[in-house]
Amino acid sequence: GHARVDVSELEDSTELFSSGLVDSFAMVDLLQFLEKHTGSRMGPEDINLDNLDSIERILTFAASRTK
């Protein structure tokens, strides 16, 4: 799949999912990317807007999961 969002134009704090910029299909890609990147499995408890709703949050979350 290809993102329909130009990531370079996003602010780090732009809400991705709650704003509707990114759909649930992209969420799946994102989770797969994070699992590869961090080497840890994402569980349902990890998949929430607090962790994933902006680039800033995603990076912070990924960093916290990276061994």
What is the reported pTM?
Answer: 0.77
Number of C-beta neighbours around residue 62 at 10 A: 17
Is residue 10 predicted with pLDDT exceeding 90?
Answer: no
The tens digit of pLDDT for each residue in 13-62 reads 999 999 998 888 888 899 999 999 899 999 999 999 999 999 999 999 99
3-state secondary structure of 10: coil
Give the single-character DSSP code of 11: -
pLDDT value, residue 60:
95
